[in-house]
Structure formats: C-alpha cells, structure tokens
Chain A
Amino acid sequence: MEKRFMKGCEALAEAAVRAGVRFFAGYPITPQNEIPEYMSRRLPEVGGVFVQGESEIASVNMVYGAAATGVRAMTSSSGPGISLKCEGISYLAAARIPALIVDVSRGGPGLGSIQPAQSDYLMATKALGHGGHRLMVFAPSTVQEIVDLTYSAHDFAERDRNPVMILIDGCLGAMMESVALPEMREPKPESQSGWTLGRREGETRGAHLISPIYEAGLEGLNRQFGERTARWQKEDVMVEELYLDDAEYVLTAYGMAARVARQVTEDLRREGYKVGLIRPITLFPFPKESFRKLVPGTVKGVIDIEMAIPGQMSEDVAASLPQGIPLYEYGHSGGVLLDDADTKAAVLDIISGNKEARA
C-alpha cells in the first residue's frame, strides 16, 4: 500500500479520487481551500471534472446534477458555506441522489472565525437543510481515518441513495500525518443506471424522473427515511471505546478533540485514575448504546469534551445517558484549541467534585 506524508484536506481529496470520485464543484472558503485546489489539478489527471462554482449554492447544485448521472460527485466547504449548501443537501436527500459533502469546520456562528472549531455538530447531525432528512455523518480523528472513511463514504451514499457527510475541523484538515493510501477504484457510473439520467449507447428503457417534489407519496418517503434511520442505528454505528470495563469517569469526544481526550485518558490511567473514553466515529447514527450501557454508581460521571461552547454533541450524550450519571462539559471554542495539560487539569477538577454537572 502506498504511503505518503499528507495534509488532512489533501489526503481527503486523494482518498475521494481513489474511491472513484470524478466530479467536484466548490467555492473558496477557509479552512478547506486545499480540497478544491487539490481537486482542480488532480481530477483532470484521471478524466474527472473540476468546476469552481460561483457560490456554494451553485456548487452543491452542480453536484446534484453530476451525481444524477451516476458519477461519484462531491463538494466541500466550511460552516458558513455549508449553511448555503443546506438547500441543495435537502434536495439531494429528497431526490435520493448520493453525494459526498465535506465540512471542514471553523468557529461560528456567523462568519465566526477561520480558526478550527467543532461548531457544526448540530447542523450536521440534526438539520442539513429543511424538511427533516438525515445524513450519515462521519467524524475521523486522524489523517489515516480521514482517508479510510472518505474511501468508503460513497459506498454508503450509493447503498442508501442519500448524501453523506464527512465532518472534520480546520486543525485536522491542516495537520500532516503519514497515511497509507488505498488502491485506485475505477468509477462505475453505469452501476447506478437503474435510476440515473442519460441513456447510454444501446440502452433502451423508459424515461427516468428524478424529483425533489412529491405530491402523493411524500408521507411514504418520510416513512422510508425513518426506517432507514432506524436501520443505521442498528447496523452502521461506528464508535471506539477505551477502558470502559472499569471506568469510573468516561470522557467522550469526537474528531480533533478526541485526540486530546485520548491523551488525557492514557495519562490519567498511568497515574491510576479509572477513566475511559467513548469516541463516536459516526456522529449520526449516534452511538447511543455505548452510553446506555454505562452503569450508574459504577460510572460516576461522563465528561464531554468539545471545541464548542456550549457543547453540541453533549445534547446527544445527555439524551443517551442513564439516569443517575451526571454529565460534565469542558471545551474551548472560537478557534481556541484544546491543550493536553489544561484538559487534564479540567478533568481532574471534575473528578475532585469541583465542577457542577451540566444542567
């Protein structure tokens, strides 16, 4: 397997190309510019198409059109741009078009800051646009995991005929690590020809209609989507658990924050503290079971660590925790990075009973 030393955003783009992505449309926004820049030179090498859209809105709609031909297509942006893409993402979901949406998040709300933050959890997992649809949301925490999850993202998208999201933050996107790159997969747009636009040479069939509007049948579609979400929850949850067997305090974090949480967990373990870690890899479906199985009394508290204030994932953690286990929050936001020493001190503070649980 080919090994390279790569930046998170560029590794993501290369993994997408190797997964068979052959269409990219995007619009500049920090901190994800390395993705469109990489794609603009890489896609033509493999017979793919790069378009710099006039806006995030146009870009996601170009992806909507491209993906409707069966070509693996993607777009990327950061929070303010993802807000604009939400219209298109809702249409992708309604019209049942698979696509990959990447959010390299920064500080919010508003124009916020261009520095890294995990401010888009709620948007990504609850409402990428109007109408109540859901996307599978993957949150890698290393550059290698970015590669691995990006490489398989379209398999989920095509299986479900639904867009998927990869959510990282600006820090992970800019970080360089050594990665093993998977082999190049040949694109197979014809594998989707049961529903896509444009007859191919020799193909005889009736007309295909791809529609984001339903007059009769919308309730049926909503029901199908609900059943699919339940299936994701049963079959597709990805989570990493560490030292839960005897943990008295369980840290939980995703993405970049999970790297700090892991370090703190290992450090405290070495010092004799019984701490554990739950790292959601799919943010939706959320690994509810990992929290539900925690035993009140044995587990004295769960500590949610995020680069967001207030914590956003902590809402899902709270909803999954059994009664009697208090939930604490620690984090920074607005571009202030988490730091091992401060985070460890904050966790110790919580363990010592000096901090109030989340209301």
Chain B
Amino acid sequence: MSELYERPKSILPNASSYCPGCLHATATKIIAEVIDELGVKDKAIYVLPVGCSTQGLVSWDLDIIGSAHGRAPAVATGIKRCRPDCLVFCYQGDGDLASIGLAEIMSAANRGENITVIYANNSIFGMTGGQMAPTTLIGQKATTAVTGRQLLGTGYPLKMCELIKELDAPRLVVRCSLRTPAGIKKARASILKGFKNQLEGKGFSFIELLTNCPTTWHTDALGSLDFMEKYTEKYFECRTFTDKEERFGE
C-alpha cells in the first residue's frame, strides 16, 4: 500500500498545541511541505518569534533559534550574514512584527537581507490573551479595547505589506489568506517563491498570511472564518504587491 498523504519531514510527530481551529497549524504544515519540496531540511534555520508560534520549539525538526519579541529579522540577519549557505527564515505574528518589531522588520527589508519572513496576521495578541494589536480592526473587541478599537487614540490597523512595498529592496511582498483552500494554495506558492528567492540569492521576501484566533475572538472555528471573510479580508487586501525577478544589488 502506498502512502498518499504523509507528515512533512521537518515536523515532529508531536501533538500540536495550537487551539482548535487555529490556522497557525495550517501555516506550519505548508511551510514544512515547501521545505520538503525544495529538499532543504538540512540547511534550514528557523528563527522563532515570541507569541503562539513560540510553541514551534516542540513541533519542528529543524535547527531552531528562539528570539526576543520582535527581533527575529535582526537575529536572522546575523545568522544569514555568517551562514549565507543556509535557508534562514522567520515566522512572526502581528504583535511581534508590526508592533514591537517594527524597526527590525522595516530595516531588514530595507537592507534587502537575503532572508524570508512569513508574517501571520490574526489582528490580535493571541498568546497573551487577546489584547489589541496594531492590526486589530476598527470596532473589533480586545481585552484592552473592550468596546472595540476606536480610531481616535489608536489609529488605523497597520498594513505591513503596504508599508514594505514602498521600499525598493524587497523582491517579494505578498498577502494571502488561509481562510480558503485557494488561499492556502496561493500562500504555499508564495512561500515557495520566497524561499526560492533566498536560495537564488535574490534578496528579501515578505509573505503575509491572514489567519484567525477563534479563542480570543470568542468565536468557533467556522465563525472565525466568517469574520475573516466579512471583515479581515475587506481591510487587508490579498494580492501580490511586489514581485521582482532581478537580484537585489545587481
């Protein structure tokens, strides 16, 4: 009997500790599949952020380094500059990347670091229990915005792809949604492209994945997908912002 569907090689056979319905698990799976497809498990270095995905410590079978909150792109810079032969990637949430780590992501992108950053945006601080993130939608409730996010005093939800696309250095800037199978397919193809860019020495790639957080959104799994369709994807437009073929610096 042949195996039709198997666990990606870079994932350990441990139970996922993500909440039921959480799309982090989907993101994990497609990244691992891409690593398999490229055959780069032995040269991949994964820079973990602070947030729910810190739990990746126990689920990945790759060389891993845990970084401080928001600092993953700086850590990845140090690694990649010393080991240009390795595939170095960060996986960061929206609290990590768009709030405390804004300087690190923008500067790494602007330097055109030859790394790949995968950005999971679920519009909330999940790990710490549902506080407002820079990406929380106007009107969306959070434990630090109990009547919903207000424009006055907190501003607009931050659109990272739209910020990064203004820089000249990045080679790939794309936003996908993990809500539908089509979105997952697009996300998988974008991650593949982002990794290939790095392996070919092209430069910085940024892939944003719209995700959910049923637990802190106080919905069930399907309800969270409805919310994404009705609100998240209306504000955060899913498209390719930048896709440059030539290597950065040439």
Which of A's residues lie within 8 Å of B, judged by CB? 22-23, 25, 49, 51, 53-55, 57-59, 61-69, 71, 73, 87-88, 91, 95, 189, 197-199, 207-213
Contact = CB atoms under 8 A, between A and B. Distances in A.
B61 interface: yes
A101 B62 CA distance: 29
B104 interface: yes
B81 interface: yes
Contact of B75 (A62, A87, A209): A62
Of B57, B80, B82, B83, the most chain A CB neighbours within 10 A belong to B82
B57 A213 contact: yes
Interface string B82-115: 1101100000000000000001100100000000
B65 A51 contact: no
26 contacts: A23-B78, A25-B78, A51-B78, A51-B81, A53-B107, A55-B103, A57-B104, A59-B74, A61-B75, A61-B104, A63-B78, A64-B71, A65-B67, A65-B79, A68-B78, A68-B79, A69-B78, A73-B82, A198-B63, A198-B83, A198-B85, A199-B43, A207-B61, A208-B64, A212-B66, A212-B67
Contact of A73 (B62, B65, B78): B78
Contact of B71 (A23, A58, A71, A209): A58
Given A51-B77, A65-B77, A66-B78, A58 B103 contact: yes
Interface in B30-73: 42-43, 45, 47, 54, 57, 60-68, 71
Interface residues of B, number: 31
Given A65-B77, A69-B78, 17 more contacts: A22-B82, A23-B78, A25-B78, A58-B103, A61-B104, A64-B65, A65-B47, A65-B65, A69-B79, A69-B83, A71-B82, A197-B63, A198-B43, A199-B63, A207-B61, A209-B63, A212-B68
Nearest to B100: A57
B79 A66 contact: yes
Given A66-B79, A88-B71, A207 B104 contact: no
Given A62-B75, A64-B75, A65-B47, A198 B64 contact: no
A61 B71 contact: yes
A57 to B, nearest CB: 7
B76 interface: yes
A49 B103 contact: no
B67 A23 contact: no
A66 B82 contact: yes
Minimum-distance CB pairs A-B, first 7: A65-B78, A66-B78, A61-B74, A54-B107, A62-B78, A65-B75, A61-B71
Contacts of B62: 207
B107 A58 contact: yes
B66 A197 contact: no
Contacts of B86: 197-198
Given A65-B65, A207-B62, A210-B64, A197 B71 contact: no
B67 A58 contact: no
Nearest to A59: B74
Interface string B221-240: 00000000000000000000
Contact of B78 (A67, A91, A207, A210): A67
B67 A91 contact: yes
B82 A23 contact: yes
B57 A58 contact: no
